[in-house]
Amino acid sequence: MEIMKTRSLILLCLLAFFSSCIVKSIQPFYIAEATEYQTHLIGEWTDDKKATWTVVSFKDMFLEDNKDWAKVSDEDKVAYQKYKDGYFIIRTKNDKESVFMAMPFKIDEQLFMDFIPFDYEDISNDLVSQHLLRTHSVAKIDTLESNTLNITWLDESRLTDLFKKDKLKLKHEKVGIDESFVLTATSKELYAFLKKYMKADIENKWESSEKYTLTKTNAQP
Amino acid sequence: MLNLNPYFNKLNNHRPFLFNLVLWFCSFVILLFIFSKGQKPIKIDYIYTIGFLISVAIPVVINLYIIVPQFLKKEKYVFFGLAFTANLILFTQLHIWFFEPLIDTLFPNYFFMSYFSNTRYIVIFSIFLISTTLLKLSEDWFYFNQNENKTLKTQNELIQLQLASLRSQINPHFLFNSLNVIYALAIQKKENIKDAIVQLSDILRYVIYDSNTQRVMLKEEIKLLKNYMDFQKFRVQGFDNIHLKATIENENFKIYPMLLLPLVENSFKHGIKGNLEDTFINIELNQQGDMFYFKIENNSLKENDNSSNEKYGVGLENIQKNLEIVYPNNHTFITNETNNIFTVQLTINTQP
């Protein structure tokens, strides 16, 4: 029993630590008009933290699983329309999988990706999972070479600075014991924020604790 | 007669600086409260509120100082409606198009995201334009009302001044006549001179103090007339041909003071001369409901009366002036002289 308590506490602390790093939002960071499917992201990738990333087209996977369109439920059809330009991303590290739904979108030619967790192995089918709210996060995608790209999540501390300096008016709520914030603004507002943030003269505005360099492993020669 | 403030000057005493200061300060506070969503306002809220206020001030000023004076105040309601709507739509659309890009350019490191949608801006602009129009009309009404009150006050003061002036002409006139009576009694060394002085004193008390109100009761006026008639008997020994017939429904009927005495004075002054056998004064008073009727007639000795016509007319003229001020359009005043009988008839209707 004591061991369980300790484990739970560690898990909570880890979650708190993890969640305090990137900006989370109830609503997606993109607007429908800005989404843009990127074929070159499809494939197998490894990151600089020895994790593998499998990026699969949501559309392809959905159509593969639902060959008979007549049998597709209305709910699934709505989901299909919503995410057909998106991806399933499976990140595997130490044999543990994390699955995300990701949506690529552009702001002034800069590629971004909106992430929302789909499944997390450690807490699946657990009472804890029922307490967790799936939130969106956003990452900037920079292609370094044809087979290498950087994924940089928007860091919470950047927005915290803006909030503290009274320079940001964006709907949010403070949650949890660590009072981390969750954005509650609309997708339109979030997208507008990112657009202006891109142009803003803020030092180290893309400095982040969650930054990965991905290299494609199944690249065609 | 009255040099009153002309109507066209009535709206010229506005204080535009004060009006705008109060208007925009209140607007700033209200908008700040709205944009900070009831929370403690932060720096970004102040910047956004000032920017928004400037944006909304342009159509409001155009509305207040061009559209309202040109159309609404000239009762061109259709044109006002069209101009008001056009002004609202134009500047709301300009705000939607240019406000955010402009404020973002001016403040590149400030992020004005979660304020309002375009729909709400239309609502805010509409509320602003409507409420400021109503406020302007209220301000105009306030000044108009203030001027109306000033005008009425000035008018009232002028009337009071006129009445006081007319009364001041009556009192010395009466006093002068009365002193003549006392003088005559003194010369004749009459014993009842003391009674005459006391009676005069009562009359003067009434004339100077008691009558110095807007209205007196009819019974008091009748008492004055009787006192005066008794007093005059001291002057004209042996004169008894004077009759007062009063038919009064309500003794407390209110009447303007000192209207009747000058008429009786005139009758005594100009009628009681020469042979007392031919002289008479008949007074008739009638009051019923709101109507009051007074008639006095005396023998006319015009051919023997060498006193100045001007003086003869002063009392009657003063009464006529008083009546015009106190009972405008509610009275008749008729003088007539036939067969050596001089008659004055006065009718007053006190119904408003």
Q: Which residues of A touch B108 (CB under 8 A)?
A: 196, 199-201
Distance of CA A37 to the CA centre of its chain: 16
Candidate from B42, B43, B114 with C-beta closest to A171:
B114
Closest-CA distance, B116 to chain A, in angstroms, reads: 10
Strand partners, B338: B341
Interface of B with A (CB under 8 A): 42-45, 48, 104, 108-115
Candidate from B42, B110, B114 with C-beta closest to A189:
B114
From first to last of its 352 residues, what are the pLDDT tens digits of chain B? 333 344 434 445 577 888 889 989 999 999 999 888 888 899 999 999 999 999 999 999 999 999 988 888 888 899 999 999 999 999 999 998 999 889 989 998 899 888 877 778 888 899 999 998 998 888 888 888 888 888 888 888 777 767 766 665 556 766 777 788 788 778 877 777 888 888 888 887 887 777 777 788 999 889 888 888 888 777 676 777 888 899 999 989 998 888 888 888 888 877 776 666 778 899 999 999 999 999 999 887 655 455 545 445 666 777 788 788 888 888 999 988 887 888 999 999 987 6
Q: Say if the Cβ atoms of A168 and B110 lie within 8 Å.
A: yes
Among A167, A182, A198, most B C-beta atoms within 10 A, so best to mutate, is A167
- Chain A, 187 to 216: residues with Cβ < 8 Å from chain B are 189-190, 192-193, 196-197, 199-202
Distance of CA B171 to CAs A43, B186, B203, B258, B296, Å? 119, 22, 11, 10, 21
Per-residue pLDDT at B167: 64
pTM of this prediction exceeds 0.80: no
Closest-CA distance, B43 to chain A, in angstroms, reads: 6
Closest-CA distance, A185 to chain B, in angstroms, reads: 7
DSSP secondary structure, A142-170, as one string: EEEETTEEEEEEPBHHHHHHHHHTT-EE-
Q: Say if the Cβ atoms of B114 and A196 lie within 8 Å.
A: no
ipTM over 0.85: no
Q: Say if the Cβ atoms of A169 and B43 lie within 8 Å.
A: no
Q: Say if the Cβ atoms of A170 and B43 lie within 8 Å.
A: no
- Chain A, 167 to 186: residues with Cβ < 8 Å from chain B are 167-171, 185
Closest-CA distance, A87 to chain B, in angstroms, reads: 28
Backbone angles phi, psi at B303, to 5 degrees: -65, -25
* B173-182 long-range contacts, CB within 8 A, separation 24+: B173/B262, B173/B265, B173/B314, B173/B315, B174/B203, B174/B207, B174/B261, B174/B262, B174/B265, B175/B204, B177/B265, B177/B268, B177/B269, B178/B203, B178/B204, B178/B231, B180/B235, B181/B231, B181/B232, B181/B234, B181/B235
Of residues A6 and A88, more confidence is placed in A88
